[in-house]
A and B are shown apart, each in its own frame.
Chain A
Amino acid sequence: MTNYDDSPVRGGAAQGPQAEQAATASDPNIASDLAPVDAALTADGATGRGEGVGQAKETEGLSQGQIVRARFLRHRGALFGLITLSAITLMSVLTMGLGPIRGLWKYQDHTRSGDMVNGGEPSLRLPFAGGGFAIGDHPFGQDSIGSDYFALVMSGVQTSLFVMLVLGLTAMIIGVTIGSISGYYRGKIDMVLMRFTDLIITLPVLILGAVLGRLLDVIPIKLDATAAQREALKANMPLLLAVVLGMILWTGLARLTRSEFLSLREREFVDSARVAGASDWRIITKHMLPNAMGVIIVNVTLLMSVAVTLEAALSFLNFGIKPPNVSLGLLIADNQGAFATRPWLFWWPGLFIILIALSVNFIGDGLRDAFDPRTRKIPSDRAMKKAARELAAANPAAAIQEAK
């Protein structure tokens, strides 16, 4: 007599393996007391049926992390985004190196000018354009002073990705901290933090970025900074820009985290942790944050895709990244005059901006679907018909039914 499985369940939760139940004997007294109930209820395995059973079957025996991963990998757009983004990152790191490590491409110094070859036209040849496949000396061409454009674009990709990551991280730390504190404590603290958030929301990002970018030029001169200090400041421009933008863009995340915490707070497991004597810190970090992580991750990725285009826009307006650093937006800005005559100077950075922003967006989409238990895969008509045929083949009676 097994006494464990409580028979069909609300929402049709998964059933534990029968072998396990049989292996562990239960208290004989209780078993005998409820023998008739048990006998009937466990008669044929008592699998949950009906509403919600689909999800239960799909998620049987998996941890939540595994379920999310499986759902994410099933999302084609997200998979495409992940592969594209990895390919772009890999390409830029392999060719241009990372920090002090040198890459494999022959032109490592993207600022170095060179001789114009073939009017600076791209030497990349693709089979479908005729002339077979060739990389050539300057696959993406050369800019107006003869620098290798492939090296420039790849460095620009690195800067953009770096800005994206740092910005996402900064915004996440500030937004989650403020959101969780105000959602958990509510009352006055919530009031103060949320009004502060409202204040930050009113700041126009583009103008603020522009002003800060300008200040970074002006202030060192006013403070009589040494040339070396000014150089260091310039070299770290992408980092500064990312941190500053992150400090403006955390607001949406804070609001989302707060609303998530407000609803999680009402869940009974939070009360039960409190009854168990857990401290506020433990409840926030151990019980509530992991449950809010889905929302947070999704919105951080979406924020990151905004960051890529925002960085490009600021650089285009000459307020963001400054030479000798190079970014995709800066490349477009520098070469905007050449659009009519040498369009590749415009297309290559543009193409990478689109690819990166799109990939990150798709990844965010995939994550949202993976974390949201309500989204479910709806089978295509073809797959359903095929299954119906298989069912009919296995069961002739059903086939007759089908024929009718």
Chain B
Amino acid sequence: MSTTTPAPKRAAAPAPKVALDSFQRLSRSTGAEVKQGDVILEVRDLTVNFWVNDSWFTAAEGLDYDLKAGEVLAIVGESGSGKTQSSMSLIGLLPKNGRTTGSAKLKGTELVGMPQSELREIRGNEISVIFQEPMTALNPVYTVGFQIVETLRTHFLMNPSDAKVRAIELMRLVEIPDPEDSFNKFPHQLSGGQRQRIMIAQALACDPKLLIADEPTTALDVTVQAEILKLMRELRTRVNAGIILITHSMGVVADMADRIIVMKDGRVVEHGTAADVFYRPQHPYTKALLAAVPHLGETRIEDGRSDALVVKDREFLALEPADDPSVVPALLLENVDITYPKQGRRPAFRAAEGINLRLNPGEVMGLVGESGSGKTTIGRAAVALLPVSAGKITVCGIDITGANNQELKPFRRTVGMVFQDPGSSLNPRLPIGESIGEPILLHEGLKGEALSKRVEDLLDSVELPRSYRNRYPHELSGGQKQRIGVARALALNPKLLVADEPTSALDVSVQARVLKLFSNLQEQYGFACLFISHDLAVVEMVSSKIAVMTHGKLVEVGATSDIVTYPQHPYTQRLLSAVPVPDPDNQRRRRELRDAIIEREHIVS
């Protein structure tokens, strides 16, 4: 057991009823008391290496920065740029084949090369981490309260009832509704946002000096993200901690960061204040990164009138008549209900109800909503992967409601689908060429030379080298895999393409290119497209119309410019205001606007 000196009283602690100072510390506290503005972390020439194939591979090198208490330092970069590894190396959480050199001092205590036993006293106590995926970072077999208490009792000599009081207090701090009741809940009983709040409460349990937030909002919906960011912004003034925010989203950075480090291939390419990096970027990579971020409302038109249709509850949405009534819509949904059947004790769940949607040939419609809003369900029903429980779906004049596999065969030729996760949508055991050629083989019976020719043409159209035909999916990058997914969907020259979050798993610059490619292909092939996404900015870039969904119902349908500029339905307004834009000043205005909207709604309801 280590020596325990009572930690000095902290000035700006969030007025705790249970003062941590009254308990014996079981873990050493490093350095002295922390005040707002003190430098808590000094990193000098930090380098992280990995042992790969009998040699050292540099994942991050030459990091130099200081972090003050109450300050948010954002480390931005694409996946694989070393941003996570360099931060995890601070608390010795690298994989076994990793190695750290250089220096990182937490209030004067050297962290690099510290033995595991001492590091253990620092983790969770002086430095804590908020992980990306709240579902997997919380242990599903313990209650959330227990997990906070566990952290507390690891570092403090506390009896369970005191720890519980402190835990409930922390849960109140992070705005968990009804903390006494939630204390005994298991992670799966809470929503994603609440789970992330619990993670934050756990991270704050011991009043850490340094908080590492590793993509804290990436797994969350945009409105939930806005709330978590709001919470974190409030917390930074209430706790004396420096925050390292690791993220790839420029919008989140604009919302939170005081200073920004831009990393690329393990090197720091730019380091400066938020304003410097956003308004006066120096390095070409930073400029490119900022240019690649889709900006919401870029295609704003100033005409002031909105044609957007607000869909009233259960009301038949006027199926916007085509200019020419003889035009057969590429996709027509009439009063469609989709129900997931009862499974065991889980009751039947209605994922979509009363959906009326019309998509004309050659048109791109964005379908937007949060997770669980039923947007993917509609996409899957449109390609007959899911049965409908009521209503009628017609694709290019073919009624696919209740058709069996044999009857669907001709219909399969007219649709293609691009899936969300490029990693799982290609069969890892098949060469790329076979994956792309499969629809052609199945529907046109082409084999050998003729098939190779078609596959090569498709590879050309998605701008990949023909030699990729013989490669396996694991040899390709995420963006390349997604292009293969697009090529496969276009193999039979479909009239309707359903794209289910095609870019949500990609880095922002890769996303920009895939979207560009997608728009070009759309012009070239002229297919109609249902573009499903949670990201309004992305949808705005590609689609001419937007449909907004929430809780299984369509709430608003209209031209893209109308929806983005003059949203009618309150949900659409809230959704729009929650999207962080990569511009600190603009983002601050939007944030205030959003708070106003929420306040107004609360007054109304």
Please pick, from A50, A278, A280, A391, the residue contacting B82 in the complex, using a CB distance under 8 A. Answer: A50
Residues of B within 8 A of A9 (CB): 79-80, 477-479, 507, 510
Are A50 and B415 in contact (CB-based, < 8 A)?
no
A39 interface residue (CB < 8 Å to B): yes
Are B417 and A272 in contact (CB-based, < 8 A)?
yes
Please pick, from A7, A29, A277, the residue contacting B477 in the complex, using a CB distance under 8 A. Answer: A7
Determine the distance from Cα of A15 to Cα of B416 in the docked complex, in whole angstroms: 28
Please pick, from A39, A269, A383, the residue contacting B284 in the complex, using a CB distance under 8 A. Answer: A39
Determine the distance from Cα of A58 to Cα of B478 in the docked complex, in whole angstroms: 18
Are A275 and B417 in contact (CB-based, < 8 A)?
yes
Are B439 and A268 in contact (CB-based, < 8 A)?
no
Residues of B within 8 A of A383 (CB): 51, 54
Are B477 and A6 in contact (CB-based, < 8 A)?
yes
Please pick, from A33, A47, A387, the residue contacting B54 in the complex, using a CB distance under 8 A. Answer: A387
Determine the distance from Cα of A165 to Cα of B479 in the docked complex, in whole angstroms: 45
In angstroms, how far is the closest chain A Cβ from the Cβ of B532? 14
A379 interface residue (CB < 8 Å to B): yes
Please pick, from A15, A50, A387, the residue contacting B59 in the complex, using a CB distance under 8 A. Answer: A50
Number of interface residues of B (CB under 8 A): 92
Residues of A within 8 A of B506 (CB): 6, 10
Are A290 and B429 in contact (CB-based, < 8 A)?
yes
In angstroms, how far is the closest chain A Cβ from the Cβ of B86? 9
The closest CB in chain A to the CB of B88 belongs to A51
Determine the distance from Cα of A57 to Cα of B474 in the docked complex, in whole angstroms: 11
Determine the distance from Cα of A46 to Cα of B265 in the docked complex, in whole angstroms: 7
The closest CB in chain B to the CB of A37 belongs to B288
Are B477 and A40 in contact (CB-based, < 8 A)?
no
Please pick, from A6, A275, A384, the residue contacting B415 in the complex, using a CB distance under 8 A. Answer: A275
In angstroms, how far is the closest chain B Cβ from the Cβ of A41? 6
Determine the distance from Cα of A308 to Cα of B380 in the docked complex, in whole angstroms: 49
| Stretch touching chain B among A17-25, A231-239, A250-258 | A17-25
In angstroms, how far is the closest chain B Cβ from the Cβ of A296? 13
In angstroms, how far is the closest chain B Cβ from the Cβ of A283? 10
Question: Restricting to B467-485, which residues have a CB under 8 Å from any CB of A?
Answer: 467-468, 471-472, 474-480, 485
A202 interface residue (CB < 8 Å to B): no
Are B81 and A8 in contact (CB-based, < 8 A)?
yes
Residues of A within 8 A of B442 (CB): 276-278, 282
B175 interface residue (CB < 8 Å to A): no
Q: DSSP class of B's interface residues: helix, strand, loop or mixed?
A: mixed
Encode contact with B along A290-314: 1 for CB under 8 Å, 0 otherwise: 1100000000000000000000000
Residues of B within 8 A of A271 (CB): 380, 385, 417, 419, 425
Determine the distance from Cα of A316 to Cα of B285 in the docked complex, in whole angstroms: 74
Residues of B within 8 A of A44 (CB): 265
In angstroms, how far is the closest chain B Cβ from the Cβ of A277? 4
Are A269 and B426 in contact (CB-based, < 8 A)?
yes
Residues of A within 8 A of B417 (CB): 271-272, 275
Are A16 and B285 in contact (CB-based, < 8 A)?
no
Residues of A within 8 A of B83 (CB): 50
| Stretch touching chain A among B308-316, B320-328, B513-521 | B513-521
Are A47 and B478 in contact (CB-based, < 8 A)?
no
Please pick, from B56, B435, B475, the residue contacting A14 in the complex, using a CB distance under 8 A. Answer: B475
In angstroms, how far is the closest chain B Cβ from the Cβ of A370? 15
Are A268 and B419 in contact (CB-based, < 8 A)?
yes
Number of interface residues of A (CB under 8 A): 77
Please pick, from A38, A58, A269, the residue contacting B52 in the complex, using a CB distance under 8 A. Answer: A58
In angstroms, how far is the closest chain A Cβ from the Cβ of B341? 10
Question: Restricting to A32-57, which residues have a CB under 8 Å from any CB of B?
Answer: 33-34, 36-41, 43-44, 46-51, 53-54, 57
Determine the distance from Cα of A11 to Cα of B428 in the docked complex, in whole angstroms: 15
Encode contact with B along A54-87: 1 for CB under 8 Å, 0 otherwise: 1001111101100000000000000000000000
Please pick, from B53, B84, B96, B516, the residue contacting A58 in the complex, using a CB distance under 8 A. Answer: B53
In angstroms, how far is the closest chain B Cβ from the Cβ of A257? 16
In angstroms, how far is the closest chain B Cβ from the Cβ of A50? 4
| Stretch touching chain A among B166-174, B295-303, B458-466, B547-555 | B458-466
Are A51 and B474 in contact (CB-based, < 8 A)?
no
Are B409 and A402 in contact (CB-based, < 8 A)?
no
Once A7-B507, A20-B465, A24-B465 are accepted as A-B contacts, the answer to whether A268 and B79 lie under 8 Å apart by CB is no
B209 interface residue (CB < 8 Å to A): no
Are B438 and A276 in contact (CB-based, < 8 A)?
yes
A354 interface residue (CB < 8 Å to B): no
* Residue from the set B54, B79, B96, B431 with the largest chain A CB neighbour count within 10 Å: B79
The closest CB in chain A to the CB of B289 belongs to A40
Residues of B within 8 A of A39 (CB): 284, 288
A230 interface residue (CB < 8 Å to B): no
Are B79 and A36 in contact (CB-based, < 8 A)?
no
B136 interface residue (CB < 8 Å to A): no
B522 interface residue (CB < 8 Å to A): no
* Residue from the set B84, B415, B424 with the largest chain A CB neighbour count within 10 Å: B424
Are B516 and A30 in contact (CB-based, < 8 A)?
yes
A3 interface residue (CB < 8 Å to B): yes
Please pick, from A7, A8, A291, the residue contacting B427 in the complex, using a CB distance under 8 A. Answer: A291
Please pick, from B55, B79, B292, B429, the residue contacting A11 in the complex, using a CB distance under 8 A. Answer: B79
| Stretch touching chain A among B97-105, B364-372, B571-579, B593-601 | B97-105
In angstroms, how far is the closest chain B Cβ from the Cβ of A237? 40
Are B507 and A8 in contact (CB-based, < 8 A)?
yes
Chain B interface residues toward A at CB < 8 A:
45, 50-60, 78-85, 96-97, 99, 101-102, 265-266, 283-285, 287-289, 291-292, 380, 383, 385, 405, 408-409, 412-413, 415-417, 419-421, 423-431, 435, 438-439, 442-443, 463-468, 471-472, 474-480, 485, 488, 491, 505-507, 509-510, 512-514, 516-517, 520
> What are 6 contact pairs spanning A and B, CB under 8 A?
A10-B423, A10-B478, A40-B285, A61-B475, A64-B474, A379-B97
Q: List the 9 shortest-distance A-B pairs measured between CB atoms, nearest first.
A: A6-B479, A8-B80, A9-B477, A277-B412, A40-B288, A268-B425, A276-B439, A290-B429, A268-B419
With A10-B79, A272-B426, A402-B101 already in contact, 8 other A-B pairs whose C-beta atoms are closer than 8 Å: A36-B287, A50-B60, A54-B53, A63-B472, A269-B427, A275-B416, A276-B442, A291-B427
